[in-house]
Amino acid sequence: MNFIEKFFSKYSQEKIIKWFKQICIAEAISCFLLYGVAMIWKRYDAEGILSTIFIIIVGNIHGLFFSIYLLLCLPARKIYTWDDEDFVFALLSAFFPFATIWVDKKLARFDRE
């Protein structure tokens, strides 16, 4: 049993599922704030000081959610019984904007075929 499995074994499946769904949404929202607000604001800000601070803050928050999403994919794989293809797709979806919402809605389900 590795460190991550040992850590998540303390929590119920329902709690991990709840966290996974919340982190999927939070990662997508932070991605929107970073790409849709902060970077556009930075482009048109003459001074650039406030927009730079906003990019740093939102970028760090997005990085945190990104990392937590990747960590939560490990117990989610066991809970949802993903095969290797599904698991790799879930991991790769973290690198594409808003793809974690698709994982939450389509891949992280018990009744899919």
* Structural domain spans, the chain: 13-107
Report the alpha-carbon distance of residue 33 to residue 11 in Å, rounded: 31
Whole-prediction pTM:
0.88
* pLDDT of 17: 93
Report the alpha-carbon distance of residue 97 to residue 5 in Å, rounded: 28
* pLDDT of 65: 96
Compute the Cα dihedral for 13, 18, 21, 22 and give only its sign.
negative
* pLDDT of 14: 93
* pLDDT of 93: 93
* pLDDT of 113: 62
| Burial status of residue 41 (CB atoms within 10 A of its CB: 0-12, 13-18, 19 or more) | middle
Contact, 16 vs 75, CB < 8 A? Answer: yes
* pLDDT of 1: 61
Report the alpha-carbon distance of residue 16 to residue 74 in Å, rounded: 11
From first to last of the 113 residues of the chain, give the pLDDT tens digit.
Answer: 688 888 888 999 999 999 999 999 999 999 999 999 888 888 887 777 888 888 899 999 999 999 999 999 999 999 999 999 999 999 999 999 899 999 999 888 877 66
